[in-house]
Structure 1
Amino acid sequence: MATSLDIYVEHFGLTERPFSLVPDPAFLFWSEHHRRAFAMLEYGIVTRAPVTLITGEVGAGKTTILFKLLATLGDDVRVGLITNSHGDRGELLRWVLMALDQPAPVEASYVDLFSRFQAHLIAEYAQGRRVILIFDEAQNLSRESLEEIRMFTNINANKDELVQLVLVGQPELRDLIRRPDMIQLAQRVAASFHLPAMDGPTVQGYIRHRLEVAGAQEPIFSEGAIDLVHEASKGVPRLVNQLCDLAMVYAFTKDQRHVSRATVEDVLNDGVFFAGGQTVTIPPRARAVGETTTSRGEA
């Protein structure tokens, strides 16, 4: 049985849904800033930087770039991806060991866990492999956990690093690492980049790129619709995806083959676009006096 989303894809002559919220490297749009972020990630890996730092607003595309990088790594690299970084330093070590497919017994002490971790790094090094630990949403790490991470970089073999760290998080992560009491960790950050929100022309290129990847044979969004999407989403890719997806659903229900500015206005007026908890106001030229759309919630 066909779902409404299946019908919406068919309605616009597409092969798949172009604005899914799930990160998909196949849809990665290489804006200038995304190219720089990827280059800095790659630079950090190739030069064996002790710590590489990538930050950006929620939904800026950090995770998509990260997955793109992971797809390029060879068999000489072992990657541990840690997305749950809460707890004390012992719990952090457990998450790290599990990410590397290593046992982390509940009854094991911190010393035992660290010994297991160090032994694993040495064993991988002896086999000609290096280990990369990636901490996603690293802004949630406590000061104690960040200090523990710094200690990981002290496990060296001659001039070679046995482990490299990649910290990925929201803008406050940069502020956290720049604190005076974190200077030893900051000094180990050899590569870093901050992903800003997209400007108007970049949003236009982003929307058209995703539509083309999804099989669009002609422009679907009008210039006015794209302008309003940019204003309402503030250029955050995840919010652009959310608003564009809703606008296409609305156009489908109206049996329209194109998305106009008026259709995007309808989405905003109905309050179905949550905008990551931000307040959305339709620009004066596109609404009657006193008509305001306010959306609250989490994206």
Structure 2
Amino acid sequence: MYLSFFSLQEMPFSLTPNTQFFCALQPHNEAMQVLLTALKMGEGFIKVTGEVGTGKTLLCRKLLNSLAGDVVVAYLPNPYLNPDELRWAFATELGLQLDPAIDQQTLSQKIEHQLLQLQTEHKSVVLIIDEAQSLSWDALEALRLFTNLETENRKLLQVVLFGQPELDQKLAHERVRQLRQRISFSYKLRAMTTAEVVYYIEHRLSIAGSNNPKLFDKNISLKVAKASRGIPRLVNLLCHKVLLQAFGAGETQLTAKHVAVAIADTEDCAKNNDTLWWAVGTAVVLLSVFSLWLWRQVL
């Protein structure tokens, strides 16, 4: 939409978790080191939690791309499954092609045999679960039983859980104390600092091919940092809307007015009186932006 207008090669602030844009800030870099170290040590359960929008899924994708060829990865992006569905999903990720009519005991045995076979091939198996706060109590117990599988030297399966703070609350329950005690490493992602937000914006613009280092000046970036509270997803959303506002107005210079309108139009942002004043005209401005873009496409 506004790529050529701002001399960009690709969208710099897309909400899609693209590892090309991974920014190795302190919290994400530390989390990655914890994950890789724990996996290298062969620990059973590893947990990463963080508020909505702090970059857990992007970190998860980065981890998937970082694991060596001797690691067999089973990835479950949607764990809203009962224990039976969880076993079938895991078996499928392990490459097993089984008769759907087999019972759960046979399915579990097939999974165990596959894990043992991979162990004899000197391969480790890692089950990575995103949005793990959605796991049911029974599914958590099924996971714990999976990690009972081990040789004299090492676990046959390692499990990495990515989840929102609700996952910590669920694991604090007495009902899953056995699983909780098996979590050897954990990391809690924090929001970015103001300085990190400024660097983050510059980094993403650079990756997107921007040749204008002043596109987001420090004042604009600071306003975005304050309104977003350092949450990467909100930073991306605000920056995208700021560029959209400027594009719609035909202005290559970003201003505080563009930021104010973007903030007023974005849920969950910290707002002040200045941004609330702009909220009245937000819908009209956004409509004008899209109308202008459609008109340019026709021409």
Structure 1 stretch 132-141 or stretch 57-66: which is displaced more?
57-66
Deviations 1:162-200 (A, max 9, x none): 111001111111121122222211111111101111121
Matches of 1:214 and 1:54, distance apart in 2: 28
Matches of 1:196 and 1:123, distance apart in 2: 39
Q: Which residue of 2 aligns with 1:220?
A: 215
In structure 1, list runs of 5 or more residues that go unmatched: none
RMSD: 1.9
Matches of 1:44 and 1:244, distance apart in 2: 35
Amino acid at match of 2:42: R
The answer to whether residue 89 in structure 2 is matched with residue 95 in structure 1 is: yes
Matches of 2:27 and 2:77, distance apart in 1: 24
Q: Which residue of 1 aligns with 2:176?
A: 182
Preserved contact between residue 261 and residue 279 of structure 2 (Cα < 8 Å): no
Matches of 1:160 and 1:268, distance apart in 2: 51
In structure 2, list runs of 5 or more residues that go unmatched: 283-299
Q: Secondary structure at the match of 2:4?
A: helix
Q: Which residue of 1 aligns with 2:133?
A: 139
Q: Which residue of 1 aligns with 2:57?
A: 63
Q: Which residue of 2 aligns with 1:124?
A: 118
Q: Which residue of 2 aligns with 1:291?
A: 277
Q: Which residue of 1 aligns with 2:232?
A: 237
How big is the shift at 1:293? 4.4
Q: Secondary structure at the match of 2:66?
A: coil
Amino acid at match of 1:71: N
Q: Which residue of 1 aligns with 2:144?
A: 150
Q: Secondary structure at the match of 2:108?
A: helix
TM-score for both structures, normalised by structure 1: 0.88
Preserved contact between residue 281 and residue 293 of structure 1 (Cα < 8 Å): no
Amino acid at match of 1:133: L
Preserved contact between residue 282 and residue 292 of structure 1 (Cα < 8 Å): no
Q: How many residues align?
A: 280
Greater helix share, structure number: 2
Amino acid at match of 1:123: Q
How big is the shift at 1:75? 1.8
Q: Secondary structure at the match of 1:161?
A: coil
The answer to whether residue 107 in structure 2 is matched with residue 113 in structure 1 is: yes
How big is the shift at 1:292? 7.3
Query: Quick one: percent identity of the two aligned structures?
Result: 32
Of 251, 256, 260, which aligns to 1:261? Answer: 256
Deviations 1:123-144 (A, max 9, x none): 1111111110011111000111
Deviations 1:189-234 (A, max 9, x none): 1111011111211111111111111122222113332222223322
How big is the shift at 1:281? 5.2
